[in-house]
Chains A and B, each alone.
Chain A
Amino acid sequence: MKPPVFEYHRPETVDEALSVLAEAGTDGKVLAGGQSLVPVLNMRLAAPRHLVDINRLADLAYVRSGPDGVRIGALARHAEVERDGPAHAAVPLLRQALENVAHPTIRNRGTTVGSIVHADPSGEAPAVLTLLGGSMKLARAGSTRTVPAAEFFVAPLESALRPGELAVEAYFPRPPDRSGTAWREVSRRHGDYALCGVGVLVTLDDDLRVAAARAAFISVGPTPVLVDLTDAVAGQQYDAVDWSAAATLARDRIEPEDDIHATASYRAHLAGVLLGRAGAEAAGRAAA
């Protein structure tokens, strides 16, 4: 299992990177952390003609937190995001979810933006972006566009990123006041792809009743599955929410498949169970 030949580019600036990507077009592939890409290359499941290594673009190695949320540059490693205090204060779900990404050694190298662009339906980061209604900043030579999460994830392993484009930043909005989030997933071994996972965002009103709630599921659809649960749980006291109606709502929306580790019906079952657990925890945090 050795990677095939490719032409290697190591731009020193973002502009340089964009022009190389523009030239490479559909034959180009960005190498950031490589924790998803390199295994594929080693297995020769892919053979990009040009590999554009952005590990020298120090400008993109940032995690910026502000009143409106957290902005993560293309070169920020999972581990850096996970450890970042201000980011955790602003968007706790980031750490809550990223802790579940593989193992620390992988998170030391893998990037959060890279994992979003990878658009794996089992990926935690795409679900977080989706749940919080974040967006991706995509740059190409001479222009930049911003794509909301809702439009970014197109299909399994397919994002809206176009050839020639570089995802430079992911934006995670800070949840409203009186909000709480939680992440729950079940995987076969610690650190494996989740058989099913869910992130929940609950917002309470001044009487600590649920004002709004939504969830994003992984591993049960072609992309992260966002479900608005407000109708099912609105008005209920934060510590006495009945999540069963929400679970039913969610089960109607997800499209799990069988695989060698779990059947579709087991995944659907997990979706309901995990929603209840994460929902209760999120509501509790919202009230705290």
Chain B
Amino acid sequence: MFGEPIARREDPRLVSGAGRYLDDLGPSALAAAFVRCPHAHARVTDIDVTDALDVDGLVAIYTYDDLADDTATRVAEPLPLLIPHPALTQPRTAYALVKDVAKHVGEPIVMVVATDRYVAEDICDRIRVSYEFLPPVVGVAAAREARHAVHADVPDNVAAHLLQEVGDARAAIAAAPHTLELDLEIERSASMPMEGKGVYARWDAADASLRVYSSTQTSTSVRFALAAKLNIPVDRVEVIAPDVGGGFGVKIVHPWPEEVLVPWAAIRLDREVKWSEDRREHFVSSAHERGQQQKIRVGFDDDGRIQGLDVEFWHDNGAYTPYGIIIPIITSTQLLGPYKPGAYRVEFRSLYTNTVMVTPYRGAGRPQGVYAMERTMDAIAARLRLDRAEVRERNFIQPHEMPYDHQLTFQDGRPLIYDSGDFPASLEKLKKLVDWDGFAAYRDAARAEGRRVGIGLACYVEGTGVGPYEGAHIRVESSGKVVVSTGLTTQGQGHETVFAQIAADELGVPVEDISVTTGDTRRFKYAVGTFASRAAVMSGNAVALTARKVRAKALRIAAEALEADPGDLEITDGVVRVKGHPPGASGGEIPLRTVAVLSNPLRYAFDEESKRATQFAVGSSDKPPVDEDDEPGLEATDYYSPMQATFANGMHAAIVETDPETAEIKILRYCVVHDCGPMINPRIVEGQVHGGVAQGIGGALYERIVYDENGQLLNASYMDFLIPYASEVPVIETDHLETPTPLNPLGIKGAGEAGVIPGSALLASAIEDAEGITITRMPMSPSDLFHLRQGATE
């Protein structure tokens, strides 16, 4: 099944309305809503709930004081810092409810619980909060200026400062025949899944156990976080990610304030409580990404080969840093892409601002890094009047140089070593696909018609499948059905299908007989989560390793039953058979379902299979029924934990047309060459690329999170945050190169984020080519382009 583009097994449920997303659960649960701060930086001086008290349907109103009064739990403490880092010298995380000073518009101040969401919002409207205004810090420039502080005790608003250097970059640049300096900017965007966050909590007082459903990318970690926060034994907490309506990064953060508060309220009230985030809330209280200012100095020779690269950038991390500095670390390392930078120096500062916090959004710092590097490549080509593809090719790491050690430390704290990839071959494929060499003629033809067109390209390398581990449990039931469970969650990536494909191959059973469960801590306790293009690599390999264990056990038991050598056995279509034995013929074969029964010495005849099993004699009388280092049941658990990330790569090209009069920007062609190694299910990989590309286009031409200087989010709706419709996304042409990685059993690399990564770099390159105007700031709207043409600076 591996490599088969089979249809997804989750689809019949989802297309017919039988999916179960967070808000589809608990129809009779109480509803939570929040009073959120309308100011970017303000001290809460008073909360007046008088008018709210007489509303029918009011169940409870909570403020920070109520959290503080609850000394039995740790809900009053700041939310956890998930990923500390030595360079993150000033980490700050939020309180579940504003304790004293709100640091951004949308921070929750009061939690209301009522009979339904309508009433809960009525109550919120009647709660009056008084504020003392504090000066807000908005945008990278203001944060750098540091005339005001986001956190009074954080000097210069600097959360983290990190410098990495390989060789003496500045000396190399000084010695280079040519140098360039670029000042670049890239604005904020956001994951913006179609389903917002949500939490539904059920407390069983009699059993003293908590069950929480959360629209999360990591149910296992939410479980541990809740046990700690609510001071409940871990074994009394289960967390389930139901069908999740998209994540793209924002749902990997945990625990969100609501993830703590909703279960906390459910326990206090001994009632089911549900919170379903609405779109407005998502805009002002979920996380954003992307915003950076970058300064690049590069030295290169007459052929455009880079000899030294010196990058300094400033990263807007918003008001809090619960997810550490993963994003700027990724920017600073993945910036290098497929190139050899010569000597390299990179330094960044991660800065606090009075805006929604910044945590990974699909691509997670890579789009910014690729933007910086690819803008530089185009600048070098322009300076030397060389072909842009040629300049890139000259700087490529060559296949024979793999594994290639950049001598830098990657996001996982391990060395940045590329394991695989054939960049020249990828570029060749891309140039063919887009007809790079034929474009000049196309441009001339277009010019003759008064049309303005341009072509661009952008390359990236993406570290995928970061550790530390994922695991799986596989059990063959006496029905012959195979149940695969893994702890990581699913937000549409088709895990129910691809993990079944892997298990089917490894176990020799039909894919139809395999069911897959993800993100349910009742089924699997230890997992990391779905992010960083890691699901297929991590859980895929974990499923394969686990299936191999189960297979080995099946063969051992079957060998005993068939009195054969395990080495002579094979499993096909769910039947263990002596190699060469004619299927169906008596003796010499045994169904896996029977092996499953035999694996359990306790053999009450629940079913026909058990009766049939009695014909086989297994286990000699000189051993206990369950031998030491053996276990009952045809099942196994195993984990995959890699030494390092595996690096996928890709290259995109686009042809754009810009209207000479209206400055409208139209993408005529969008071509992708992508290498994530062997594909488990090409159709699903293709879908991942398509979706990523659409988000890349959105981020380059349409989407933009706009704050004014007072920290008010000016476009907190789908009317003004412009997610592309079908009318804005062109036909996407794709081709694949499959260089396997030596790092894991399946040889696979991640694909989840790939499509989005080069979007801004690529379209900047293409528009610049069409317009002949240097582009240093993205995204680009027609109005922006008009003013660029005017030579006006915004």
Contacts and interface: CB of A to CB of B under 8 A. Distances in A.
A270 B787 contact: no
Contacts of A266: 663, 782-783, 786-787
B727 interface: yes
A41 B662 CA distance: 35
A5 B661 CA distance: 49
A45 to B, nearest CB: 11
Contacts of A191: 725, 727
A195 interface: yes
B663 to A, nearest CB: 8
Contacts of A192: 719, 722
A273 B660 CA distance: 10
Interface in A1-45: 1-5, 43-44
Contact of B722 (A188, A263, A269): A188
Contacts of A265: 786-787, 790
A158 to B, nearest CB: 20
Interface string B577-613: 0000000000000000000000000000000000000
Contacts of A273: 661-662
B783 A1 contact: no
Interface string B774-785: 000000011100
B642 to A, nearest CB: 42
Contacts of A43: 280
Contacts of A3: 118
A260 B720 contact: yes
Contacts of B280: 1, 43
Contact of B783 (A2, A189, A263): A263
A4 B122 contact: yes
B418 interface: no
B715 interface: yes
Of B664, B782, B790, chain A has the most CB atoms within 10 Å of the CB of B782
A195 B783 contact: yes
Contacts of B121: 1-2, 4, 44
A139 B679 CA distance: 67
Nearest to A196: B662
B58 interface: no
A186 B664 contact: yes
A190 interface: yes
B728 A190 contact: yes
Contacts of A4: 121-122, 125
A5 B728 CA distance: 38
Nearest to A258: B783
A190 B727 contact: yes
B662 A262 contact: no
Contacts of B706: 260
Contacts of B662: 186, 270, 273-274
Nearest to B794: A263
A254 to B, nearest CB: 16
Nearest to A188: B722
A261 B787 contact: no
B106 to A, nearest CB: 14
Interface string A245-288: 00000000000000011110110011001100000000000000
Interface in B690-743: 702, 704, 706, 714-715, 719-720, 722, 724-725, 727-728
A64 B57 CA distance: 49
A262 B786 CA distance: 10
Contacts of A188: 702, 722, 781-782
B556 interface: no
A140 to B, nearest CB: 32
Nearest to A5: B122
A4 B117 CA distance: 11
A186 B782 CA distance: 10
Contacts of B714: 260
B723 to A, nearest CB: 8
A5 B725 CA distance: 33
Contacts of A193: 719
Contacts of B117: 2
Contacts of B132: none
A263 B781 CA distance: 11
Nearest to B708: A260
A197 to B, nearest CB: 12
A269 B787 CA distance: 11
Contacts of B661: 273
Nearest to B724: A189
A35 to B, nearest CB: 12
A133 to B, nearest CB: 29
A270 B663 CA distance: 9
A2 B121 CA distance: 7
Given A260-B715, A261-B781, A263-B783, A189 B125 contact: no
B278 interface: yes
Contacts of B787: 263, 265-266
B170 interface: no
Nearest to A263: B783
B352 to A, nearest CB: 24
A87 B122 CA distance: 45
B279 interface: yes
A188 B125 CA distance: 34
A193 B715 CA distance: 14
Nearest to A262: B783
A192 B702 CA distance: 12
A3 B278 CA distance: 13
Interface in B228-279: 278-279
Of B279, B702, B715, B781, chain A has the most CB atoms within 10 Å of the CB of B781
Contacts of A5: 122
Contacts of A2: 117-118, 121
A260 B725 CA distance: 19
Of B662, B706, B781, chain A has the most CB atoms within 10 Å of the CB of B662
Contacts of A195: 782-783
A2 B787 CA distance: 40
Contacts of B722: 188-189, 192
A107 to B, nearest CB: 15
A8 to B, nearest CB: 14
A266 B728 CA distance: 21
Of A1, A4, A188, chain B has the most CB atoms within 10 Å of the CB of A188
Contacts of B715: 260
Contacts of B781: 188, 261-262
Contacts of A1: 121, 278-280
Interface in B390-444: none
A44 B125 contact: yes
Contacts of A274: 662
A281 to B, nearest CB: 15
Interface in B91-121: 117-118, 121
A5 B280 CA distance: 20
Interface in B274-292: 278-280
A261 B787 CA distance: 13
Contact of B702 (A44, A189, A262, A270): A189
Nearest to A269: B786
Nearest to B125: A44
Interface string B364-394: 0000000000000000000000000000000
A40 to B, nearest CB: 12
Nearest to B723: A189
23 contacts: A1-B121, A1-B278, A1-B279, A2-B117, A2-B121, A5-B122, A44-B121, A186-B664, A186-B782, A188-B722, A188-B782, A189-B722, A190-B728, A260-B706, A261-B720, A262-B782, A265-B790, A266-B783, A266-B786, A269-B786, A270-B662, A273-B662, A274-B662
Q: Which 3 A-B pairs have the closest CB atoms?
A: A190-B727, A262-B783, A266-B783
Given A186-B782, A189-B724, 16 more contacts: A1-B280, A2-B118, A2-B121, A44-B121, A188-B702, A188-B781, A189-B702, A189-B722, A189-B727, A261-B720, A261-B781, A262-B781, A265-B786, A265-B787, A266-B787, A273-B662
Interface of A: 1-5, 43-44, 186, 188-193, 195, 260-263, 265-266, 269-270, 273-274
